Structure 1
Amino acid sequence: MTNTYTDHGSGDALVFLHGFCESKEVWAEFTQPLQQKFRILALDLPGFGDNTPNSGSYSMESMADEVKRQLDELSIKSCLLVGHSMGGYVGMAFAEKYGHLLRGLCLFHSSALPDTDEKKEQRNKSIDFVERHGVDNFINPFTEPLFYEGNRARLQQEIELMKNIGKATPKESITGALAAMRDRPDRAQVLREAKYPVLFIFGKEDGAVPMDKALEQCHLPGNSMVYFLEKTGHMGMFERTYETRKALEKFAETIFG
């Protein structure tokens, strides 16, 4: 399998992993200013973006192995790993297996905790819906609620971008990833044992990572920075571009000096 990626800038490496039904495109504008200071890699995870179809497994562990393979290919020996949503779940699997390669980790609207029983049931219903009604009918109502309602009017272009990326995703990638997210284990212990700093970015209006879950994990690492954003849902790279980028830039500068 050949991962597809963008590789810009030079210096210490920041590696960006997109979320569910997304692609490396979600990071394109967000990462541009960071390319002046760092080497910026944005990967398409297996089965998503230009990296389709995925004939293998959609587990978080197998995706983490693909990320590792890609970093090896690009001769990256250490990095700050930034994972949005599902990309953060992959990041946690990567941290568990390859933590020695991490200089830092950013969970960007993401979590080390497993799905609740209620969330697992939602995933099952989503799998069933996609199988019965197809990708477009799933993506249309799925996308807009990722954004805080007060931001939707000004971010119609970004919402359309997300819908287009989602609709271009193969059905088997969507159902495979839903099952993989449903079945991922609790990785809170990985945060407790982290020997690198962890940055958490949370939206106060994020239905996918509620505040109680955010508070449950942000104190676990020995060294963590936490950024809570008001009037922000699940898509901080679009909803609060300047603030989230600045937080990440400062975090990276702290790590790399």
Structure 2
Amino acid sequence: MAKAHHLSIETQGSGDTLVFLHGFCESKEVWTNFVRPLQQKFNTITLDLPGFGNNTAERSDYSMESMADYVKDALEELDVRKCILVGHSMGGYVSMAFAEKYGNLLRGLCLFQSSALPDSQEKKENREKTIDFVERNGVEKFIQSFVEPLFYSGNRERLQQEIEMMKQLGKATPQQSVSGGLAAMRDRPDRTHILKDANFPLLFIFGKDDPAVPLEAALQQCHLPGNSMAYFLAETGHMAMFERAYETRKALEKFAETIFG
């Protein structure tokens, strides 16, 4: 495995393993404060997905499947044989690709404000427009308008520091990764069959005011697995690890304890 992996993985704590995958134009830093209390009971792994954070070596493939392969290789290197995978937004799309290819490695999966559904035609067109905007105007201009709407309007004032951190992470993302990530999210397939066929438990975390995963999309999928829990949060946008950190952490902790015993 490439040495670059060592730059972009952090593992803390001991016990059963929880693996956290960040979203688009984010990095493992979004999980830093969130996972700290969990390290008293679990081994937590956060990593930078290819193209993001400290993992920005040039690549030709930004597909969800390719990122899932990267996660699998990283877990092999760390000698993790079974884990609960927690994927936020794009990290959830990667988690679904991982479940399709390497479901035998999963004890459970948390779609943290994410979806197994493909992009609608309208969303695909919006991704195309965003790629065009980024290529014409640059990453910084895109990030300036992209980040704040991810947070519920009533939470923005108290979370100015987190919003600023997200902007800095986004602005540091190479243009190739932004365009490649957008195209890969646009092209990802419908993976609701993975939810229906899952032989491991699932936890869904949704924000009722999430602009990226609307409530209707959430309701279409949370009943599909044979064993699932769903947690809906009012006055919460797309960034519940900041907006509702305590509640989401407790939900995840309970889910993990149910699985690991």
In structure 1, which of residues 7, 30, 34 is the aligned counterpart of residue 34 of structure 2?
30
Write out per-residue CA displacement over residues 75-124 of structure 1, whole angstroms, 9 at most, x where no aligned residue.
00000000000000000000000000000000000000000000000000
Percentage of pairs with the same residue? 71
Write out per-residue CA displacement over residues 190-217 of structure 1, whole angstroms, 9 at most, x where no aligned residue.
0000000000000000010000000000
In structure 1, which of residues 100, 123, 142 is the aligned counterpart of residue 127 of structure 2?
123
Q: CA deviation at 1:56?
A: 3.3
Q: CA deviation at 1:53?
A: 2.5
Letter in 2 for 1:222: G
Q: CA deviation at 1:55?
A: 1.5
For 2:174 and 2:57, locate their aligned partners in 1 and report how far apart those are by CA, in whole Å.
Answer: 7
Letter in 2 for 1:44: D
In structure 2, which of residues 203, 208, 213 is the aligned counterpart of residue 204 of structure 1?
208
Write out per-residue CA displacement over residues 209-229 of structure 1, whole angstroms, 9 at most, x where no aligned residue.
000000000000000000000
Q: What secondary structure is seen at the aligned counterpart in 1 of 2:200?
A: coil
Write out per-residue CA displacement over residues 104-148 of structure 1, whole angstroms, 9 at most, x where no aligned residue.
000000000000000000000000000000010000000000000
Letter in 1 for 2:133: F
Structure-1 residue corresponding to 2:147: 143
For 2:254 and 2:129, locate their aligned partners in 1 and report how far apart those are by CA, in whole Å.
Answer: 40
For 2:49 and 2:166, locate their aligned partners in 1 and report how far apart those are by CA, in whole Å.
Answer: 16
TM-score, with structure 2 as normaliser: 0.98
Structure-2 residue corresponding to 1:221: 225
Letter in 1 for 2:48: D
For 1:188 and 1:30, locate their aligned partners in 2 and report how far apart those are by CA, in whole Å.
Answer: 28
In structure 2, which of residues 232, 237, 245 is the aligned counterpart of residue 233 of structure 1?
237
For 1:168 and 1:255, locate their aligned partners in 2 and report how far apart those are by CA, in whole Å.
Answer: 37
For 1:11 and 1:99, locate their aligned partners in 2 and report how far apart those are by CA, in whole Å.
Answer: 21
Q: Which runs of 5+ in 1 are unaligned?
A: none
For 1:33 and 1:109, locate their aligned partners in 2 and report how far apart those are by CA, in whole Å.
Answer: 21
Q: What secondary structure is seen at the aligned counterpart in 2 of 1:16?
A: strand
In structure 2, which of residues 41, 47, 51 is the aligned counterpart of residue 47 of structure 1?
51
Structure-2 residue corresponding to 1:83: 87
Q: What secondary structure is seen at the aligned counterpart in 2 of 1:104?
A: strand
For 1:97 and 1:119, locate their aligned partners in 2 and report how far apart those are by CA, in whole Å.
Answer: 26
For 2:57 and 2:225, locate their aligned partners in 1 and report how far apart those are by CA, in whole Å.
Answer: 36
In structure 2, which of residues 90, 102, 109 is the aligned counterpart of residue 105 of structure 1?
109
Write out per-residue CA displacement over residues 141-189 of structure 1, whole angstroms, 9 at most, x where no aligned residue.
0000000000000000000000000000000000000000000000000
Q: Is the 8 A contact 1:104 1:198 kept in 2?
A: yes
1:251 equivalent in alignment to 2:255: yes
Structure-2 residue corresponding to 1:17: 21
Letter in 1 for 2:240: G
Q: CA deviation at 1:244?
A: 0.4
Give me the CA root mean square deviation: 0.6
For 2:260 and 2:80, locate their aligned partners in 1 and report how far apart those are by CA, in whole Å.
Answer: 15
Q: Is the 8 A contact 1:53 1:173 kept in 2?
A: no
For 1:225 and 1:55, locate their aligned partners in 2 and report how far apart those are by CA, in whole Å.
Answer: 37
1:74 equivalent in alignment to 2:78: yes
For 1:158 and 1:112, locate their aligned partners in 2 and report how far apart those are by CA, in whole Å.
Answer: 27
Q: What secondary structure is seen at the aligned counterpart in 1 of 2:19?
A: strand
Q: Is the 8 A contact 1:53 1:170 kept in 2?
A: no
Letter in 2 for 1:255: I
Question: Runs of 4 or more off by more than 4 Å in structure 1?
Answer: none
Q: CA deviation at 1:54?
A: 3.4
For 2:46 and 2:158, locate their aligned partners in 1 and report how far apart those are by CA, in whole Å.
Answer: 26
